[in-house]
Structure 1
Amino acid sequence: GLIALGAGGIKPLVASFVGDQFDSASKHLAKPVFDAFYWIINFGSFFASLLAPMFLRHFGAAVAFGIPGALMLAATFVLWLGRHRYVMVPPSPPDPDAFTRVVRTALLAQAPGQARPGLWLAGAGVLAALAALAMAPSLGFVIALCLAIVALIGGVGGGAWLQLERSRGRHADAAVDGARNVLRVLVIFALTTPFFSLFDQKASTWVLQGNAMAAPDWFHPAQMQALNPLLVMLLIPFNNLVLFPLLRRRGVEPTALRKMTMGIAFAGLAWIVVGGYQLLLDGGQALSIVWQVLPYLLLTFGEVLVSATGPEFAYSQAPASMKGVMMSFWYLATTIGNLWVLIANAAVRDEAVTGHIASTGLSVDAFQMFFFAAFALLAALAFGAYARRYREVDNYRAA
């Protein structure tokens, strides 16, 4: 609980704080700095993945937990020492044209001779959220709560979209246009959730597959996790120094949305590969764990295109009063991505579902791997189609 509270307080705010250091004149520097920010995160992850198991094995849990705790305390002190060296954007004052007020006006406003379909949709979302919470005893609290959040955001957001023009005249045109843009960005975030469904399973499903593969006695399959941050540290400079300049010379601009579209697709390809491996393992063929390097490479390439790009995109699209909130929605996409995994895992415990899977000739593991691959590839198609119609805005503060 404390870790979740701390991460929830740090993640959306530190990404917003990074963006606050730039304005419209220096925004071209924000993209490489956000990449560097993600690179540094993986620098820490790489050494933690290698050293934490060693500390645990040789010195016990107190040292393994104590060292990162002490480093976090030291980092907090260093940040405090440098607090006067940063751009400190003050919180926005209460705004009568704030996003939530525009949404509320849109939902509640009446137009002569017109129904209020948006209000009905928002009400349906609230009822669906309550129904999901009521199913907690059968679904489990985590699944029920996540479903309730999805229903609430979908119902209220969709309802506001249907009636947003009704808030025009009661709120400034810029505020209404900003609210519409926030809702459009939330669709972008929703379409990235399949990527996180696939990405976070590298620490679970892929480790379980690694347990069935041949490896040296001294090597634990979970140690393959260190390969991911190592590849991130290699791929980010490769993309910025080699790949993206090459694409620009060929007349292809690697925009944020194009990067994210390809990133989701590469995650799907990675899962096609691990699904192929699972077919071989189910057939009794021995495979070395070294073969997992290929899907790790594909998945990590997708990660740097999605996860390293998303925070800067979210910051640039959010109105000044919505920077932190928009970032929180971006990280909520990870939660929703894991929700789809929870639902899929719950479904395969049903006898009717497992019977259908058996009729395909695939094991449950292989079926789920190909299912998630198809899930991501379809999401990439939908993301690309939506991105073609999306008009990016520039919400960096004025120079």
Structure 2
Amino acid sequence: MKKLDRDAILKTIPQKGFFGHPKGLSTLFFTEFWERFSYYGMRAILLFYMYYEVSDGGLGIDQTTANSIMAIYGSLVYMSGIIGGWIADRILGTARTVFHGGVLIMIGHIILALPFGAPGLFVSMGFIIIGTGLLKPNVGGMVGDLYSKTDPRRDSGFSIYYMGINMGAFIAPYIVGTLGEGVSFHLGFGVAAVGMLVGLIVYVVTRKKYLGLAGTIVPNPLKKEEKGRLLSIILTVIVILGIVGWLGINGGWLTVDRVIFSISILGVIIPTAYFIFMFRSPKTTSEEKSRLLAYIPLFVAAMMFWAIQEQGSTILATYANERTDLNFLGIELKASWFQSLNPLFIIMFAPLFAGMWTKLGDRQPSVAQKFSFGLVFAGLSFIVMMFPAYFNGTESLVSPLWLVLSFFLVVLGELLLSPVGLSASTKLAPAAFAAQMMSLWNLSNSSAQAINAQVVKFYSTETEVMYFGVIGGIAILLGIILYLFSPKLKEFMRGLN
């Protein structure tokens, strides 16, 4: 986008009206609030819907398989963001891409709300994966379009937007989860669909008035000959996938487990190919190659962190439902409510961490050291989950406070690693691959969940102590190693911290 284009766009956006910020921030805040309400509400009950018996309103899928499906689902959601960014850059622009993404998400939730069984589950997942990939990365991009690059309100605006994300995620399990577990899973999914509809209405009604021309520019539009070639490629891929799917299903060799395994392999291959391509590119200078090498251990550390954090919606969700005493102080808890702990702790402690880094200034730990601390906290969040089974066995139900402690510890790790990782990705990126580096950072979560799809198969009541102990121990060990090598990584960063 040329400077003149950005200046012209900024003139079309009311620059005051939402807590001293551009009015368009309210549009994106509430759009993302309701989208996250929709997504996290659905996710709070989806695992239970898959493995509950048919007589209890579920699909009766094997519990281990259900956990693997959840992990692959999360992995594909993050992978699809690459496609969403490309479509916005080359075809639709961010504003239209966000709208189409919201529509697809709503359709996916509507399908889940109807009694279509297992086929409906997988079709809905397809809609939600693509829809979230279109919407999620591009809403954040539009927040940036509301401000000039020198606007001092910019960081504060992103903080307000981030609060919208976590507020939606915090409220959703209490509403969608309560209805889904207490009344009907399909009713819960229906409420999630309504949430996305509300977000779309807010977006459509206020977009032109508050966002002006933000997100309407297509930065690098496809040429006419490129459109024809792209259409041919898409049709070819659809035909090939259709033939393979038909032959595989009829031949009995295309199973859910094999699809999950294939995607798990892709979760490792794609980021590896990204690194090799950027490192070998003639556009990457020797100094940038050094920084890219420093980024690799950070990426691996992030994968290890997300591998633990994302099990909050799989293994810990199963633990909440199967192993936890849900009658606490006379209150009958719902297993889905524990999914609110992560966003709640982020809302509570994110301002404290931001203030702490500001106060420390140049005395704050390096990027690698923050990552190492984050890994240690993530590891501890699993280590503490060993104790109930180790001391009392697995026959009795455990206090919900163990889960609260585990979620609290992993959130401390997330606040040390996640925002720092975003910042490091922008600083260490080769100039020619600045945008793709952000996609690569998102792939750390995608790859972690792809690997989780295989790892969660080792969890059972009998292996509980070893499962939490081994994974938690590996994370702590990696954290210590990363801390010891942090001075060397700082050298590779060539002046950046």
TM-score normalised by the chain length of structure 1: 0.69
Please name the residue that 1:91 is paired with. 219
Please name the residue that 2:337 is paired with. 223
1:259, distance to aligned residue in structure 2 (A): 3.1
Residue 325 of structure 2 is aligned to residue 214 of structure 1? yes
Please name the residue that 2:176 is paired with. 52
* Change over 3 Å in CA distance of 1:185–1:30 after alignment to 2: farther
Please name the residue that 2:10 is paired with. none
Please name the residue that 2:354 is paired with. 240
Q: Distance in 1 between matches of 2:341 and 2:210?
A: 33
Q: Distance in 1 between matches of 2:378 and 2:132?
A: 25
**Selected match of 1:67 from 194, 199, 212:** 194
Please name the residue that 1:261 is paired with. 372
1:148, distance to aligned residue in structure 2 (A): 3.3
For residues 105-144 of structure 1, what are the structure 2 equivalents within 5 Å? 140-144=258-262
Q: Distance in 2 between matches of 1:229 and 1:281?
A: 30
For residues 1-399 of structure 1, what are the structure 2 equivalents within 5 Å? 1-19=126-144, 25=150, 31-56=155-180, 57=182, 60-61=187-188, 63-77=190-204, 78-84=206-212, 86=214, 91=219, 140-151=258-269, 153-154=271-272, 157-158=275-276, 161=279, 167=282, 177-178=287-288, 181=291, 184-210=294-320, 211-216=322-327, 218-241=332-355, 243-245=356-358, 247-248=360-361, 252-282=363-393, 287-318=398-429, 322-346=433-457, 348=458, 363-384=462-483, 385=485, 387-391=489-493
Identity, % of aligned positions: 18
1:87, distance to aligned residue in structure 2 (A): 8.6
Q: Is the 8 A contact 2:382 2:406 kept in 1?
A: yes
Q: Is the 8 A contact 1:196 1:333 kept in 2?
A: yes
After superposition, the C-alpha distances for 1:176-224 in whole angstroms (9 at most, x for unaligned) are: 6556645653553232101111001112222332332322172122212
Q: Distance in 2 between matches of 1:81 and 1:312?
A: 32
Q: Distance in 2 between matches of 1:310 and 1:18?
A: 19
Q: Distance in 2 between matches of 1:182 and 1:47?
A: 39
After superposing the two structures, state which structure 1 stretch, 180-189 or 286-295, moved more: 180-189
Q: Is the 8 A contact 1:35 1:309 kept in 2?
A: no
Q: Distance in 1 between matches of 2:427 and 2:262?
A: 32
Count of aligned positions? 330
